[in-house]
Structure 1
Amino acid sequence: MSRVELKMPKMGESISEATILSWLKNVGDTVEEDETILEVATDKVDSEIPSPCNGTITELLFQPNEVVEVGQVIAIISAELGAISNVDKSEKSQNLSSDEQKRDQASLPLGEMSAKSGQRGQFKSELSSVNDVFLSPLVISIAQKENLTIEEVQSIAGTGDGGRIRKSDVMLYLKNRKYPLPSRPQAIAPKPSYNAPPISYIEGKDRIVEMDRMRTMIADHMVYSKHTSPHVTSYIEVDVTNLVNWRSKVKHEFLEKHGEKLTFTPIFVEAVAKAIQEYPMINVSVDGKKIIVHKDINVGMATALPSGNLIVPVVRNADEKNLLGLAKNVNQLANSARNNALKPDEIGGSTFTISNVGTFGSLMGTPIINQPEVAILALGIIKKRPEVIKTDKGDEIAIRSMMYLSLSFDHRVVDGFLGGSFLRKVGDELEAFDINREI
C-alpha cells in the first residue's frame, strides 16, 4: 500500500479556494479510481471530486462547510499496488487550463458536475436555520433568474443528502408556485477600492457571536436592495385620534362578536390598499427597462420571529377583503410567524410592504425596500401630545394622537410627486377614519 495525497483541484483561473459541501466517503471506506469522494463548491462551479486511484481512505483533513485553498491536501488514501500510475494522470487533470476545464465541465452530466456561473446577489452560500443545508451556485442562479425571495427559498423542501436543495426541488416549487414574480436583472456589487478597517477586540472580554444563516441571508438581501435601488425617503405626520378612539371603543366588542383581536395592522393594510388603488404605479417591479405593474395588491407585513430575525408574511389581495377579513388574515399570519408555522404560500409574492416600527417604540424609520418591490412604508409610534387644531371657534390647543409615516421608494421609477402623493393618500385615509364606523 502507498500513501496518496488528494489535493483540492484547480477549477478555473480566478478560483483560489472552494468550500467542502459533503464527504461521500468516510475514513476506512474503500474507493475505486474515479469514484466520487466529496462535493465542493465555489462561486462559479459546483462539482464532485473523484478518487485518483483504487484504495482505502485513511484520513479526512477538513470538515463540511470549511473553505480550502486550491492545492491543499484534503484527504489521504492508501493506494493499492499498481494504482500509483493513475495518480499522476489525476493530478494532470486537476491542473487543466481554464478553457480545457470549461470544455470538460460542459461534457459532464449534471449528476457529476453542475457548472453554472452567476453572482450570489441577495443569496448567501448557506440557507437559514430553517433549512440547515448548503445553497449551491446552480440553485442560486435559478432562484435569481426566477426572482425567488429569501423566504421562498427557505420554504423549499430539499430532497438531497441532509436536506440539500436540488435543481429538481426548485423546479417543482416553480411549477406549483401560485404567485410568480417577474425576473430581474442581476446587480453586481462594485468591488471596494479600499480595505475594511480592522476591528479590535479584547479576547476574553468581548464576545463574538456568529450570524445564524437566516440573519446572514437578511444581511445579503439588505445589501442587495441598497445596491439595486436608489432609496429616497419621504415623511408626513398624521393625526390618528379618530382611529385610536374608535379602536379603543370597539375592540372588546369586535373580539366578542368575531372572535378576533382588532390591532392597528389591518387598519393600516386597508389604508395602504386603498392608496395603491389610486396610485397603482407604486405597486410595481422593475425588470431591466420594463416596469411590471401588478394587478394584485399583496401587502407584506414585516414580522419579528422569536429568534429576533424578520420575515414578511403576505396579506394577499388586500383590496378585496373587508376589515374583518383583514383582521383574521393578519392575526393568522402573525400567530403562524411567532410559532414558526408559516406555510410556503404565506410568504413571498408581496407587491408592497409595511413595517410597523412603532411596535418597538420608534418615532419613525427609514426602511430598506423589500426587493423586487419599489416602495416600503414605515409606521411610527402613536403618541399623544398637544396640537393646534382648527375648530368652529377658531384655533385651539387639544390633546391629539399623532404618528409619523415614512415611505422609502425606488427613485428609478418612483419620483417625488408619486411617492409624496401616495404617502399623503395613506395619511388622509387614516386621518379621515370614521369614528362611527360599524363593525
Structure 2
Amino acid sequence: MTIKEFKLPDVGEGVAEGELVSWLVAPGDRVEEDQPVAEVETDKALVEVPSSYDGTVEELFVEEGQMVPVGDVIISFRVDEDGGEDATAADDGESAAAASETAADEGAPDTADAEPEAATEDGTEPTDAEPDTPSGRTFAPPSARRLARELGVDVAAVDGSGPGGRVSEADVRAHAEGGSSDAPDPRPAPTPTDTDAGERKSAVSKRGSADATDAGGSEAASAASAPDPAGRETTLATPATRKVARERGVDLDDVPTDETRDGEAFVTADAVTAYADALESPAESTPEPEPTDVDAGSAPDATGEPAAAETAGGDETVPYRGVRRTIGKQMERSKFTAPHVTHHDTAEVDALVEAREELKPKAEAAGVKLTYMPFVMKAIVAGLKEYPYLNSELREDEEEIVLKGEYNLGIAVATDAGLMVPVVEDVDEKGLFELAEEVRDLASRARERKLKPAEMKGGTFSITNFGAIGGEYATPIINYPETAILGLGAIEERPVVRDGDDGSEVVPAPTLPLSLSIDHRVVDGAVAAEFANTVMEHLEHPLLLLNE
C-alpha cells in the first residue's frame, strides 16, 4: 500500500488554472478509478475531475473556492499496490510502517517519517515528533501535527472529529486542554517561521496575536468595543471570504457562525460583512484604537482611512474569474479589435408561424420541441452560402481572410455563470427536427454547466436570441475571431403596411426583428444588408428552406 498524489489535470485546451468549486469526496472515502472526486470551474466550463486510482481518500489539499493551477496536487489517495481492498485496519505494525516509509519517499506531507525534517525547519528538536501510531497511521494535516509537537501532545492519542477520524488543530488543543497527556503549558506566540504555508498562515498568526492580547497587550482596548467576538482558535473559510475579511479588517476567528466543515467552524463572506458592519457602529462613539491587530492586507493608509477595496453600505464583492472573466476578456478583445457595425431589419413572418404550427404535432410525435431557432439557422446557412465573407475569419498575422467551408453555428445561452456559446456543427447537413433536438440538448447542458470545452469551439457564425426575454433590437458583439453575429428579437404582432384592394393599409402581423453585427474590416455594409435580405426572404417564405 502506498500514497499517491493526484494533480489537477489539464481539463481543456489552453486552460491554465481552475476554481475548485466543490469536493465530491472526503478523507476516508473509498473511490474507484474514473470516479469524479471534485468539480472544477475553468474559464471555459464546469467540469468533473475523475480519480486516476482505486483506493481511499487520504487528504484534500485545496479548499473549495480556491484557484488551482493545472499541475498542482489537489488530493492524495492510499492505494493498495496489489490491487486488493484497502487494508489499513488489517495491516500489522510491520506492513503499516512500510506503508509510512513509502509515503515519505513519495513526498507525502503528513507521514510520521516526514515530521522530523519539518520540526527541524520550525526550530524544534526532531525528538519532539510524535511516535508512530499502533496502526501505523494517523490522519492529520501538517498544521495539526506541528501544533501537537508544540503542545507536547501525542497525535496518535487524539480523537479526530473530522471525516475518517481526521485530527484537526481544534482536536489537538481540546486534547491538550483536557489534560489527557503530559503536555507542558501552551507555547508562547509563534514566530512567522512557525506558520504553515498558504491560508493557514494567518490562522496560526492570529492565534499568536490572541495569546498576546490575553496577556495584556494593547489590543484589549479595541476588543472591548467589538460586538461579542467568537474568539475561536481555528476557522475555515474560502480564499474569497478571507479576502473580504482582510479588506474589512476583521479577524475570521471572531466572526460568529453556526456552520461547520470537517468539525471546524466555517465562515462565509456574508457573515464577515455582517460582523464588520456591526463593528463599525460602536466604533463611531469610542476612540479609535491603534490598528495593531489587523492583517497587512487590511491596514489603513497614512491618512487613517480604510483600504480602497473596503465595501460600504452593504455592498458585496464578487470574484471576477472563471467563465465571467473569460466572457469579459473575449468581449473586450472583440470590441477593441474588430470595428463593429450593426444592421437592423425586420422580417414579416406570417408564413413561418403557420409552417411551425403545422409541423409541431409531427415534431411532438417524434419527441421534439420545435422552436423557431432551427428555421432561423437554416435561413442563415442560405445567406452564408450566398455571402461567404460572413462565414469567415480574418487572420491579421498572415494577412489573409479564411472563407470557412463548414457551417458551424454558435447559439448563445444565458446561464447563471454568464453567457455560454455551444456550437452546432454542420447545420447545412441536418434537418429541422435534428437541429431542434441538438439545440435543446446543448442549451440544457450549458445551463447545468455540463458542456465540454470542445462543444464551445469551432464556430463560424453566432446567433443570440435576446427576444427570449422580450428584447427587440440590440447591437450584439461578435464572437471573435468570427466575422458576424445575428441577434433575434421577439416574434410579436406589430403594425405593418400591406397593399390591399383598396390601397395600402396598416395591419397587425407577426414580425421578427433582426440585428446583424459585422466586422467592418471584412464585410461592407452593403454586403451585410444583402445577407440580411437573403435571411429574411427564407424566413418569409419557409418553403425555400427545403433546399437547405
Q: Which residue of structure 2 lines up, in the alignment, with residue 376 of structure 1?
A: 485
Deviation at 1:356, TM superposition (A): 0.5
Deviation at 1:419, TM superposition (A): 1.4
Contact 1:243 1:435 in 2 (8 A): no
Q: Which residue of structure 2 lines up, in the alignment, with residue 420 of structure 1?
A: 529
Structure 1 residues 271-327: Cα deviation after superposition (integer angstroms, max 9, x where no partner): 11111011111111111111011100101100122x241111111111111212222
Q: Which residue of structure 2 lines up, in the alignment, with residue 347 of structure 1?
A: 456
Q: Which residue of structure 1 lines up, in the alignment, with residue 195 of structure 2?
A: 59
Q: SS of the residue aligned with 2:537?
A: helix
Deviation at 1:248, TM superposition (A): 2.9
1:240 aligns with 2:312: no
Q: Structure 1 stretches (4+) deviating beyond 6 angstroms?
A: 22-29, 198-202
Paired amino acid for 2:426 = N
Report matched runs for 1:39-438 at 5 Å: 58-60=194-196, 62-63=198-199, 203-256=312-365, 258-288=366-396, 289-305=399-415, 307-434=416-543
Structure 1 residues 411-430: Cα deviation after superposition (integer angstroms, max 9, x where no partner): 11111121111122111211
Residues 432 and 385 from structure 1, CA distance in 2 versus in 1: closer, same or farther, beyond 3 angstroms?
same
Higher relative contact order, chain-length normalized (CA < 8 Å, sep 6+) = 1
Return the alpha-carbon distance in structure 1 between the equivalents of residues 312 and 524 of structure 2. 49
- TM normalised by structure 2 equals 0.44
Calculate percent identity across the aligned residue pairs: 36
- TM normalised by structure 1 equals 0.54
Contact 2:381 2:428 in 1 (8 A): yes
Return the alpha-carbon distance in structure 1 between the equivalents of residues 453 and 474 of structure 2. 29
Gaps of 5+ in 1: 1-18, 34-55, 67-197
Q: In terms of Rg, which structure is larger?
A: 2
Return the alpha-carbon distance in structure 2 between the equivalents of residues 405 and 266 of structure 1. 16
Residues 379 and 215 from structure 1, CA distance in 2 versus in 1: closer, same or farther, beyond 3 angstroms?
same
Deviation at 1:249, TM superposition (A): 3.8
Q: Which residue of structure 2 lines up, in the alignment, with residue 168 of structure 1?
A: none
Residues 219 and 344 from structure 1, CA distance in 2 versus in 1: closer, same or farther, beyond 3 angstroms?
closer
Q: Which residue of structure 2 lines up, in the alignment, with residue 184 of structure 1?
A: none
Q: SS of the residue aligned with 1:205?
A: coil
Q: SS of the residue aligned with 2:440?
A: helix
Q: SS of the residue aligned with 2:534?
A: helix
Moved more, 381-390 or 199-208: 199-208
Paired amino acid for 1:58 = D
Q: How many matched pairs? A: 264
Return the alpha-carbon distance in structure 1 between the equivalents of residues 477 and 493 of structure 2. 28
Q: Which residue of structure 1 lines up, in the alignment, with residue 248 of structure 2?
A: none
Paired amino acid for 2:195 = E
Deviation at 1:200, TM superposition (A): 10
Q: SS of the residue aligned with 1:285?
A: strand
Give the CA RMSD over aligned residues. Answer: 3.4
Contact 1:235 1:406 in 2 (8 A): yes
Deviation at 1:233, TM superposition (A): 0.7
Deviation at 1:331, TM superposition (A): 2.0
Deviation at 1:25, TM superposition (A): 9.5
Return the alpha-carbon distance in structure 2 between the equivalents of residues 20 and 314 of structure 1. 28
Return the alpha-carbon distance in structure 1 between the equivalents of residues 335 and 320 of structure 2. 20
Return the alpha-carbon distance in structure 2 between the equivalents of residues 264 and 238 of structure 1. 13
Deviation at 1:392, TM superposition (A): 4.8
Deviation at 1:61, TM superposition (A): 6.5
Residues 366 and 200 from structure 1, CA distance in 2 versus in 1: closer, same or farther, beyond 3 angstroms?
farther
Contact 1:20 1:63 in 2 (8 A): no
Q: Which residue of structure 1 lines up, in the alignment, with residue 82 of structure 2?
A: none
Structure 1 residues 66-97: Cα deviation after superposition (integer angstroms, max 9, x where no partner): 9xxxxxxxxxxxxxxxxxxxxxxxxxxxxxxx
Q: SS of the residue aligned with 2:436?
A: helix
Residues 436 and 202 from structure 1, CA distance in 2 versus in 1: closer, same or farther, beyond 3 angstroms?
closer
Return the alpha-carbon distance in structure 2 between the equivalents of residues 325 and 205 of structure 1. 49
Contact 2:410 2:460 in 1 (8 A): yes
Return the alpha-carbon distance in structure 1 between the equivalents of residues 109 and 528 of structure 2. 59
Gaps of 5+ in 2: 1-66, 74-106, 122-191, 203-306
Return the alpha-carbon distance in structure 2 between the equivalents of residues 336 and 351 of structure 1. 21
